[in-house]
Amino acid sequence: MSDDLAVEAHGLVKHFRTGKSVTRAVDGVDLAVRRGSVYGVLGPNGAGKTTAVRMLATLLRPDAGTASVLGHDVVRDADAVRSVVGLTGQYASVDEDLTGLENLVMLARLYGFTAPGARRRANDLMGAFGLADAAARQVKTYSGGMRRRIDLAASLVMSPEVLFLDEPTTGLDPRSRNQVWDIVRVLVDDGATVLLTTQYLEEADQLADRIAVIDHGKVIAEGTATQLKASVGEGSVQVRVAEADERPRAAEVVERVLGTAVVLAPDPTALSARVPEDGGDAVARLLPALAEAGVSVPEFSLGQPSLDEVFLALTGHETQDDSPTTESEVA
């Protein structure tokens, strides 16, 4: 136990039994989140992110391992954990039939604010989250971005020291996503510790001081965004060919020139590959090599590696790979 850690987990395990099969949702996860930092848990759908966060927030009991939040054990001192933690996720506790303001007032009253104090706190939060104009509207009329902001506001009514954000921007348009990012930055400037889960490398890169990449319930890489990107290459090349039947040849050339595995996009004319470290020269050789192979390339771009490419680099399989965490139970 270290004093400068806000969240600590050792060998955390949660397996779900459905009929005869066992899903190893979280399969031995270690985490160490420093106070006042933003920690990103990055992984594809089904990786075990929500299950891990729910255990840290005391909503699920671990099958094995230990975890603590600000020194409080999530099983033995669950009440103490709940008093310092805020949680927001895909299933937040906002009542759709109430107005935004009514929701926050009600929560503040539940947390013991006086009636005038609750109203003041609720109004402050609505203002801070750019929702003052929508305060008197039922939450069910809110847009996706507004809904996400009222969820965040609801989790902040009692100024938690540690905040868990479960995929706070999944499905949001870029503008709303940026608003959520700004809110997270302000919270951390004010001294909060944030643990957020995400499917977007860019989001983890933008916000998180450290990142754990999880796959099939296990941490497969951990470090700063810079370390992570260095381990998977600095960027990614996206190539589009004119005709789908040119793609196999293009893939061959890209793989030979860059020396990294190609990710075939769902779009049959698109492919991408990460750029290896010091791969600038290879990237420069790519277009001439494609032309020489007789492949026409109407689109070619360089960008950040996608989560797919990070995963391919770290695990040898893509995020779409459904190789099951579920397996038959051995009696």
Ligand X SMILES: Nc1ncnc2c1ncn2[C@@H]1O[C@H](COP(=O)(O)OP(=O)(O)O)[C@@H](O)[C@H]1O
The residue ranges that bind ligand X (CB under 6 A) are 16, 18, 23, 25, 43, 45-51, 325
**Interaction partner, residue 168 (ligand X, Mg ion, none; CB < 5-8 Å by kind):** none
**Interaction partner, residue 187 (Mg ion, ligand X, none; CB < 5-8 Å by kind):** none
In the bound complex, what is the minimum distance in angstroms from residue 62's beta carbon to Mg ion?
17
| Closer of 50 and 198 to Mg ion (Cβ) | 50
In the bound complex, what is the minimum distance in angstroms from residue 89's beta carbon to Mg ion?
7
| Closer of 47 and 212 to ligand X (Cβ) | 47
| Closer of 49 and 274 to Mg ion (Cβ) | 49
**Interaction partner, residue 43 (Mg ion, ligand X, none; CB < 5-8 Å by kind):** ligand X
| Closer of 51 and 260 to ligand X (Cβ) | 51
In the bound complex, what is the minimum distance in angstroms from residue 52's beta carbon to ligand X?
7
| Closer of 199 and 206 to ligand X (Cβ) | 199
In the bound complex, what is the minimum distance in angstroms from residue 130's beta carbon to ligand X?
28
Summarize as ranges the residues that interact with Mg ion (CB under 5 A): 49-50
**Interaction partner, residue 45 (Mg ion, ligand X, none; CB < 5-8 Å by kind):** ligand X
| Closer of 231 and 326 to ligand X (Cβ) | 326
Distance, in Å, from the CA atom of 113 to the CA atom of 321, rounded to the nearest integer, reads 49
**Interaction partner, residue 300 (ligand X, Mg ion, none; CB < 5-8 Å by kind):** none
Task: Record the tokens describing residue 63, joined without a space.
Answer: 């099958």
In the bound complex, what is the minimum distance in angstroms from residue 35's beta carbon to ligand X?
25
In the bound complex, what is the minimum distance in angstroms from residue 31's beta carbon to ligand X?
14
HEC readout, the chain = CCCCEEEEEEEEEEEEEECCEEEEEEEEEEEEEECCCEEEEECCCCCCHHHHHHHHCCCCCCCEEEEEECCEECCCCHHHHHHHEEEECCCCCCCCCCEHHHHHHHHHHHCCCCHHHHHHHHHHHHHHCCCHHHCCCEHHHCCHHHHHHHHHHHHCCCCCCEEEEECCCCCCCHHHHHHHHHHHHHHHHCCCEEEEEECCHHHHHHHCCEEEEEECCEEEEEECHHHHHHHHCCEEEEEECCCHHHHHHHHHHHHHHHCCCEEECCCCCEEEEEECCCCHHHHHHHHHHHHHCCCCCCEEEEECCCHHHHHHHHHCCCCCCCCCCEEECCC
**Interaction partner, residue 146 (ligand X, Mg ion, none; CB < 5-8 Å by kind):** none
